[in-house]
């Protein structure tokens, strides 16, 4: 019965697969009706719509765009001619292709979540041909009498998805070692609870780490206080995923995995640049000496010769926070920054963007309207410009075009006008 079924399944998959292909060309070049995609969220529903241009015109989600399957949320990756949407809550990963009516058609689908044993996996484009899907599970270890938790075992499960074929490699399981630094002498102090933001550079793959403070039960993960000392990153050999190790730096403190914006980028020389994340549960919890920095990782280790102190370089009166950044090229990047003096880090107009130069270690706060960028996901580089959406609460929402060559605080222009209001634009692709 089982074999019978497998045969049927295989047959059905062949039919499904062949019927989804637009033509028999082995390297299909689908007609792209649009250059850009915009992700909008309204009242917990996720919509993806095409935009002809990001620098001008208007884009509204009113009667426009494709609703994405989103049990709890949808996460988008753009790579090559396709977009990929992960349904967080079911774990289904759908490959999407722009159609001629302003929306998207599903081309192919895999159960990415099942490959790592969860319906709520995380994923990221690690290089142009690879999406990584991963999940960390923290399993408590009890004492002999089974009454108290004495430790936690943190297991990473990850698979690589080759794109655009959407084929999945076998599962890698890895117990993340807990450093002395992470435990801080406590039996169950901080422990790794999430990895994110993987990048592949040369023969290494780097995963940022997020630590959970088990000693404070009042704030749920991941908004526990970040680890107060040190930075940690998980490194594997690539593509073997062997020799997993934790590398450490005492250059600053915090999480290294980013939140939704990516924390790490690989530059043209193959070096990895990483921002730390400090935003804690209820307030901006900088201890003295803590700061927002960019560190460099090379050959599977932190490069102690490089440190870019963003906090100090910006020289603002207020403390700043960050949880990710976007890289344009030639050392230039854009980083959403939280201005602590403006108020709460979420649900308020307390964020702006800094233009940074990681080679020359310069940073300038741009004169943008303040908005909420804590959970902003994605900006893109096109024709040498950087584009991201800025949606001030109670104000008008636009995609902004940033000029990397401009040195001043006004090196941007307003581009594509968006719906605004509670149509939250989380990313452009």
Q: How far apart are CA 278 and CA 291, in angstroms?
A: 8
Written in H, E and C, the secondary structure of 206-240 is EEEEEEEECCCCCCCCCCCCCCCCCEEEEEEECCC
393 binds other proteins (CB under 8 A): yes
Smallest separation (angstroms) from other proteins to the CB of 149: 6
From 42-50, 229-237, 314-322, 332-340, span contacting other proteins (CB under 8 A): 42-50
Closest CB to other proteins among residues 167, 243: 167
From 229-237, 351-359, 402-410, 414-422, span contacting other proteins (CB under 8 A): 414-422
With CA atoms as reference, report the closest residue to 379 among 325, 321, 310: 325
Q: Locate 120 and state its tokens.
A: 């709520």
168 binds other proteins (CB under 8 A): yes
218 binds other proteins (CB under 8 A): yes
Which of 7, 12, 150, 270 contacts other proteins by CB under 8 A? 12
Please provide residue 335's backbone torsions phi and psi, each rounded to the nearest 5 degrees: -125, 120
Q: What is the DSSP letter of 377?
A: -
Closest CB to other proteins among residues 26, 217: 217
Closest CB to other proteins among residues 199, 210: 210
214 binds other proteins (CB under 8 A): yes
Please provide residue 93's backbone torsions phi and psi, each rounded to the nearest 5 degrees: -115, 120
Closest CB to other proteins among residues 29, 218: 218
Q: How far apart are CA 233 and CA 248, in angstroms?
A: 7
Q: How far apart are CA 139 and CA 117, in angstroms?
A: 14
Residues 277-306, interacting with other proteins (CB under 8 A): 281-282
Smallest separation (angstroms) from other proteins to the CB of 103: 4
SS3 state at 52: coil
From 238-246, 286-294, 302-310, 342-350, span contacting other proteins (CB under 8 A): 342-350
287: exposed, middle or buried (Cβ count in 10 Å: 0-12, 13-18, 19+): exposed
47 binds other proteins (CB under 8 A): yes
Handedness of CA 376, 39, 57, 383 (dihedral sign): positive
Beta bridge partners of 48: 39, 66
34 binds other proteins (CB under 8 A): no
Residues 234-253, interacting with other proteins (CB under 8 A): none
CA atoms within 13 A on the CB side of 407: 2
Smallest separation (angstroms) from other proteins to the CB of 161: 9
Smallest separation (angstroms) from other proteins to the CB of 355: 26
118 binds other proteins (CB under 8 A): yes
From 201-209, 291-299, 318-326, 369-377, span contacting other proteins (CB under 8 A): 369-377
117 binds other proteins (CB under 8 A): yes
The secondary element (H helix, E strand) that includes residue 75 is: strand 73-79
Query: What's the alpha-carbon Rg for the chain, to the nearest Å?
Result: 22
Please provide residue 75's backbone torsions phi and psi, each rounded to the nearest 5 degrees: -115, 135
Which of 34, 155, 319, 413 contacts other proteins by CB under 8 A? 155
Q: Locate 379 and state its tokens.
A: 């900006």
Residues 54-113, interacting with other proteins (CB under 8 A): 61-69, 71, 89-92, 101-104, 109-112
257 binds other proteins (CB under 8 A): no
Which of 79, 138, 247, 382 contacts other proteins by CB under 8 A? 138
141 binds other proteins (CB under 8 A): no
From 241-249, 288-296, 354-362, 368-376, span contacting other proteins (CB under 8 A): 368-376
45 binds other proteins (CB under 8 A): yes
Smallest separation (angstroms) from other proteins to the CB of 398: 15
Q: How far apart are CA 171 and CA 241, in angstroms?
A: 10
Q: How far apart are CA 248 and CA 295, in angstroms?
A: 11
Which of 141, 150, 171, 407 contacts other proteins by CB under 8 A? 171
Q: How far apart are CA 230 and CA 236, in angstroms?
A: 20
Question: Are residues 181 and 232 in contact, defined by beta-carbon separation less than 8 angstroms?
Answer: yes
Count of residues that interact with other proteins, criterion CB under 8 A = 77
Which of 73, 246, 344, 381 contacts other proteins by CB under 8 A? 344
13 binds other proteins (CB under 8 A): yes
177 binds other proteins (CB under 8 A): no
Label residue 147 left, alpha or beta by phi (over 0 means left) and psi (-120 to 50 means alpha). Answer: alpha
């Amino acid at each position: 019965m089982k074999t019978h079924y497998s045969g049927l399944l295989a047959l059905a998959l062949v039919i499904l697969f062949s019927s989804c292909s637009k033509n028999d060309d082995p390297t299909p070049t689908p007609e792209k009706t649009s250059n850009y995609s915009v992700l909008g969220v309204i009242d917990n529903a996720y919509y993806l719509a095409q935009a002809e241009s990001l620098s001008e015109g208007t884009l509204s989600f009113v009667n426009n765009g494709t609703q994405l399957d989103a049990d709890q949320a949808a996460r988008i990756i753009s790579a090559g001619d396709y977009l990929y949407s992960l349904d967080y809550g079911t774990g289904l990963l759908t490959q999407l292709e722009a159609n001629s009516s302003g929306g998207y058609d599903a081309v192919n689908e895999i159960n990415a979540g099942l490959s790592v044993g969860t319906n709520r996996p995380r994923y990221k484009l690690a290089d142009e041909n690879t999406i990584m899907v991963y999940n960390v599970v923290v399993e408590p270890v009890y004492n002999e009498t089974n009454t108290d938790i004495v430790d936690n075992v943190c297991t990473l499960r990850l698979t690589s998805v080759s794109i655009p074929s959407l084929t999945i490699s076998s599962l890698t399981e890895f117990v993340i070692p807990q450093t002395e630094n992470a435990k801080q002498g406590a039996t169950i102090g901080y422990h790794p609870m999430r990895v994110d933001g993987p990048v592949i550079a040369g023969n290494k793959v780097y995963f940022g780490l997020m630590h959970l403070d088990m000693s404070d039960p009042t704030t749920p993960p991941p908004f526990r206080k970040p680890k107060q000392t040190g930075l940690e990153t998980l490194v594997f050999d690539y593509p073997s995923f062997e020799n997993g190790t934790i590398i450490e730096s005492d250059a600053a403190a915090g999480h290294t995995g980013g939140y939704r914006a990516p924390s790490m980028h690989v530059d043209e020389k193959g070096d990895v640049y990483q921002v730390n994340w400090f935003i804690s549960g209820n307030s901006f919890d900088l201890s003295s000496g803590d700061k927002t920095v960019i560190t460099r990782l090379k050959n599977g280790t932190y490069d102690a010769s490089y440190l870019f102190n963003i906090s100090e370089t910006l020289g603002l009166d207020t403390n700043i926070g960050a949880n990710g950044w976007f890289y344009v090229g030639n050392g230039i990047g854009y980083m959403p920054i939280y201005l602590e003096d403006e108020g709460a880090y979420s649900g308020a107009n307390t964020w702006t963007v800094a233009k940074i130069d990681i080679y020359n270690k310069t940073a300038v706060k741009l004169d943008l309207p303040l908005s909420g960028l804590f959970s902003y996901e994605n900006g893109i580089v096109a024709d040498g410009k950087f584009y991201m959406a800025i949606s001030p609460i109670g104000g008008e929402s636009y995609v902004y075009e940033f000029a990397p060559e401009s040195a001043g605080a006004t090196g941007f222009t307003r581009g594509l006008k968006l719906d605004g209001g509670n149509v939250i634009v989380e990313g452009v692709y």
